[in-house]
Structure 1
């Protein structure tokens, strides 16, 4: 007898009912069947597996060790079938099973959490998966298929056709150092030649396959690399180097005196950023996020355009 024909989600539910009631007859009543049908089905299942699932020697039907193993693993099978049914239903309605979103690591997540809260009011079934990317890692995540939507990709390095994009805005940065750092003692604005004499703390490009965006200060040998913004802030505060931070992240540290905002003699122009997605955008969840990203208020929050410093320099491109 075929194993596949007997071990089904229904057979697992049958074994579960018998185990809970300790009776074939009570399980039959729960399942809306006659006791003889339950007895016959259990025998078929035992024959196909060549094991004894129930000890029938006492007044109650008790699971054997083999029966306990079948029920334990079988419950996972039932849950998997239920999840599959849910996914099929969601696909039929147009909502994706999951939506994967890469976010520029320099962006604050709070505005996106607000967006998630709004999204969950209309759909709690699509699994949202957020990841953090730096520099060319944003495009790499999209091109490689690791994500469906990227928020904050650079205009440079865009892969071209097949990945539609829209302008998001330009991100402002502050060039910072610790108060005891030698650059903080110099008259401002600071010349590039002065910066070249000191270590620059940079963030590691998270790209896996595509060439990294290594230009400007990133190309300098007089630098060291960290993997996260908190690590970069700590390195700057300890005077281990100088470097750029997002205005929204730098502002409180400048206010409490643990960092100094340094003006540069040759500030670069702000670099425009994009949000991009995999084509076609035929899922309702992706379409919903794309529509919300058109909001000027959301864009301003992501780009930290509501943050100002007492002594701001010109906006700096985020790849420096």
Structure 2
């Protein structure tokens, strides 16, 4: 009992010493990162694992945000760095991390596929569009994805993909989200004449580039390395 208690105190003392060293070197004890939900999970988690190995005393808080929710976190000074999709908030600059492709897709049983011909945007208007809810409070950034008034709005991408597989509607999905569903036939790309594919980009943004701490800069560097190695 005394041995375990003593070992616990020694471990706690070591953690406090490492934390003090981090503070002395300018390393943050906590980092807050906002990531647009479209961003692929694999390179993000690889980056966070490497950062945790290098800086075990730094806590990381991850905000998974959608559209203007990411902008609001940046503008409100609530995060130390962010990954934005398809643009950056006014007054900020960003560095392109990764380009992505989004595909219009629906279940093979969906009525749009049963038409058996190339589709126009007008064809889509008669069917339900699956939309992921903007996580921002003001929702000021207009969406380029909404093409019909018939919508099912959900909060999570997994819900949207599942709904599409069940034939509840169609959507444009980042290719990374639906690789398995495309491979096993649960979803099929829609044969749109124009707009079947949409391209976008993710940007690494600091709220205050000049004032970014050592940890924020290192995390940003790891994100750039992880995305450079990710399949395009």
TM-score, length basis structure 1: 0.62
- Could you tell me which runs of 5 or more consecutive residues in structure 2 were left unpaired when the two chains were aligned: 3-11
Counterpart pick for 2:164 among 236, 259, 263: 236
The 3-state SS of whatever aligns with 1:175 is strand
Identify, as 1 or 2, the structure richer in strand.
2
Q: Paired residue for 1:74?
A: none
Alpha carbons of structure 1 residues 216 and 261: separation in structure 2 relative to 1, 3 Å: closer
Q: Paired residue for 2:214?
A: 284
Q: How does 1:98-117 map to 2 (within 5 A)?
A: 98-117=30-49
Alpha carbons of structure 1 residues 252 and 285: separation in structure 2 relative to 1, 3 Å: same
Alpha carbons of structure 1 residues 183 and 115: separation in structure 2 relative to 1, 3 Å: same
The 3-state SS of whatever aligns with 2:164 is helix
Residue 198 of structure 1, CA deviation: 0.3
Q: Distance in 2 between matches of 1:300 and 1:172?
A: 17
Q: Distance in 2 between matches of 1:188 and 1:166?
A: 40
Q: Which runs of 4+ in 1 moved over 4 A?
A: 82-89
Q: Which has the larger radius of gyration?
A: 1
Contact 2:125/2:149 (<8 A) preserved:
no
Q: CA RMSD in A?
A: 2.6
Q: Paired residue for 1:95?
A: 27
Alpha carbons of structure 1 residues 232 and 299: separation in structure 2 relative to 1, 3 Å: farther
Q: Paired residue for 2:224?
A: 294
Q: Distance in 2 between matches of 1:130 and 1:191?
A: 39
Q: How many residues align?
A: 220
TM-score, length basis structure 2: 0.83
CA shift digits 1:16-56 (9 cap, x unpaired) = xxxx9xxxxxxxxxxxxxxxxxxxxxxxxxxxxxxxxxxxx
Q: Distance in 1 between matches of 2:17 and 2:40?
A: 36
Higher relative contact order (CA 8 A, sep 6+): 2
Matched, 1:183 2:183: no
- Could you tell me which runs of 5 or more consecutive residues in structure 1 were left unpaired when the two chains were aligned: 1-19, 21-78, 306-320
